Amino acid sequence: MGILSNTHTRLNIKMEADKILKADFLDILFEGKNKEYGAYELRKSYNSRLIKAMIGTGFVLLLILGGLLYANFAGKSADDSIDVLDTQMAEIKKEEPLPPPPPPP
């Protein structure tokens, strides 16, 4: 019975009709709640934080991509070539096994 009465009194808190039409979703959601707690401000500034994070991520990706492109194209010139020297491995002479020792007398 106590739970129902608490729920019933919470439902009696209503915004006025003209305030509902002018209010955004967060104001309706946080009506009658502690807005100074921090969650209200975090949700209110979510879009701007998301845009800043996306711009920062894009900038870092462009910086990495630019560095890779610069490393690939700027370091090479037309005269750079690799000299290849053909070599052959020297043949290693295999040692012949020693004859077995004579049997003891």
H/E stretch holding 59 reads helix 46-73
Global pTM value: 0.47
Task: Read off the pLDDT of residues 53-71 as tens digits, 9 standing for 90 and up.
Answer: 999 999 999 999 999 998 8
End-to-end C-alpha distance for the chain, whole angstroms: 113
Task: Please state, in angstroms and as integers, the Cα–Cα distance from residue 27 to each residue in 7, 21, 43, 74, 101, following that order.
Answer: 20, 11, 11, 55, 102
Q: What CA–CA distance (Å, rounded) separates 45 from 50? A: 9
Q: What is the pLDDT of residues 4-17, one digit of tens each?
A: 444 444 444 566 66
